[in-house]
Amino acid sequence: MGKRETAEEAVRRLGRECFGFLTEAGFAGPHDVDGGFAYAGHGLRITIYHYRWKNESGVVANVDVLRGITSEVHAGVDQLYAECGLGAVNHLPGTARSARLTELRVRTFAAALGTLLPFLLAPNRTALIRRASTRP
């Protein structure tokens, strides 16, 4: 029996496997970040990572509009999905307590990002991301 894949390893492996459409759309990546990976391009940074905190663990997918190297505005993929009228926020849950569930979450976020990509590349994307943002 071999070593089991950690949730973070599953996220990174799937970053290369499921998010190739971002590279085809002109994004650079995947670049490793804590617990996951990120793609950058078109003035955006898309980050997907696994987190652990106390009794919780899950997958987070965020989109940032960049101004230089800092984030101007930030929103979760689940919030963007709802803001674009594609479904409810709870259609993209993040909770993942196993590598298998982590894999499912990453694949779900990949499908959602594929659907969201035309919205994220549109001229009014900053306003969209600002409306979907949960930050003040």
pLDDT digits (tens, 9 = 90+) for 51-104: 888 888 899 999 999 887 777 899 999 999 999 999 888 888 888 888 888 888
1, part of any domain:
no
Range of the domain at 43: 7-132
Phi, psi of 3 (to 5 degrees): -70, 135
75, part of any domain:
yes
119, part of any domain:
yes
102, part of any domain:
yes
120, part of any domain:
yes
pTM: 0.89
The SS3 call for residue 5 is coil
How high is the pLDDT of residue 61?
A: 94
Number of domains in the chain: 1
